Structure 1
């Protein structure tokens, strides 16, 4: 799946020369937690987010530091903080470091970028032109569509269900292949055998639940403490 497959093509943006009051109205009225910022030529130059309005002089929340902190930070950093807390134009308070993604980039690349930099949305570019925004809500909507389409998947026979579970099981590096086996009857799956952690129990149940045709999963696993060999949990 590519970014363009799930991005929001309708982009609400602001100019770098706009008054911050206009930007705040756009964000509050539209329910946006962030907006891309472009210059007069339409080039992406920054990102404006709710975080840029946390430390403001108007609300008395501008950063305050002791004499020694001010001395260590130096006048350049203090001047930047002052401009950010008191700025009236978007370019004065926006974040100039913009993380963006190409429209044809794999979705996995975009998610890794969002995750590593802790951002909630990414401007999407195509040949240098802003064509959309990818947000966490876009990812949620895509996930929901796939879940609902899976719910309508054709029910398959028990043998195919077991084969699919065994296939998925074999791919997982965490799977205890030697100590766990699966039995399937009328779409109901029995997870049988021995495991050494509750995390493995949860993962096995989730793996089975996601196979089309499975109507119920029965946990018949026994948990044994890996170091002592003592039984921690037995099947109910």
Structure 2
């Protein structure tokens, strides 16, 4: 699934000449955490987010971002006091092309700690993806087909352990009875032990998992 498949095509934006107060009011009224900033030619020039407004002079926190005894830097003074969105916004904006997979979008959101990402077609802003759009993909995901019979489930678990975690098929013994899986053998870390359990739990047809794996001594 790609950005174009989940993006919101109606995008609310503001001008760099708008006031910070107008931008804050717009975010509140529309219950959004950030706004694309577009110039008179409708080109994306930045993003204004809630985090850009957390050190404003109106909050009484201005001047605290500079070194002790030195005062604010010129850049922080502008961000704290300017009334223009263009002075306060973050630029350049983090964007994605409409053909980017949604997994990559989720990675960017996590890495950059952002909630909304503009979607581009060349230089044109064509949509925006929010964290809630990612969550909807998760809730709408259809489960894998259910393996039929204990042997089919056992093979499915073994295959997933190999493909997802790179575990040698012979390193872990997978047994199953009435849909309940037991994992035994040895792995290299506690994290791998937990990951193996998670893999088994996510295989359709598994009723429960008994994790008997041992962690190799360092």
Q: Same fold (TM over 0.5)?
A: yes
Scaled by the length of structure 2, the TM-score of the pair is 0.86
Q: 2:217 corresponds to which residue?
A: 226
- What are the superposed Cα offsets for residues 6-56 of structure 1, whole Å, 9 maximum, x if unpaired? 223332221222222221112122221111111122111110011111111
8 Å Cα contact 2:49/2:89 also seen in 1:
yes
Task: Give the match's secondary structure for 2:46.
Answer: strand
Contact 1:174 1:200 in 2 (8 A): no
Aligned to 2:15: 15
Alignment check: 8 A CA contact 1:38 1:45 kept: yes
Equivalent residues of 1:18, 1:90 under 8 A apart: yes
Aligned length: 217
2:41 corresponding residue in structure 1: 41
The CA deviation string for residues 104-131 of structure 1, in whole angstroms up to 9 with x for no partner, is 1223333343344333321001232212
Q: Distance in 2 between matches of 1:67 and 1:194?
A: 54
Aligned to 1:167: 159
Matches within 5 A, 1:113-128: 113-128=108-123
Superposed, 1:35-184 pairs within 5 Å as 35-64=35-64, 65=66, 69=70, 78-146=73-141, 149-150=142-143, 153-154=145-146, 156-173=148-165, 175=167, 177-184=169-176
Asked whether the 8 Å contact 2:162–2:168 carries over to 1, the reply is no
- In structure 1, stretches of 5+ residues that fail to align are 71-76, 228-236
Give the whole-Å Cα distance in 2 for the aligned partners of 1:207 and 1:154.
15
- Partner Cα distance (1:138, 1:10) in 2: 14
Q: CA deviation at 1:62?
A: 0.9
Please give the per-residue CA displacement for 1:144-166, whole angstroms capped at 9, x wherever unaligned. Answer: 221xx218x54522222122211
Partner-residue secondary structure (3-state), 1:213: coil
The whole-number CA distance in structure 2 between the counterparts of 1:8 and 1:134 is 6
Max Rg structure? 1
Q: CA RMSD in A?
A: 2.4
With over 3 angstroms needed to count, the CA separation of the structure-2 counterparts of 1:218 and 1:69, relative to structure 1, is same
Kindly indicate whether the alpha-carbon contact (under 8 Å) linking 1:156 and 1:212 is maintained by their aligned counterparts in 2. Answer: no
Distance 1:131 1:170, change over 3 A: same
Task: Tell whether the 8 Å contact from 1:176 to 1:195 is kept in structure 2 after alignment.
Answer: no
Aligned-pair CA distance for 1:66: 5.3
User: What SS does structure 1 have at the residue aligned with 2:73?
Assistant: helix
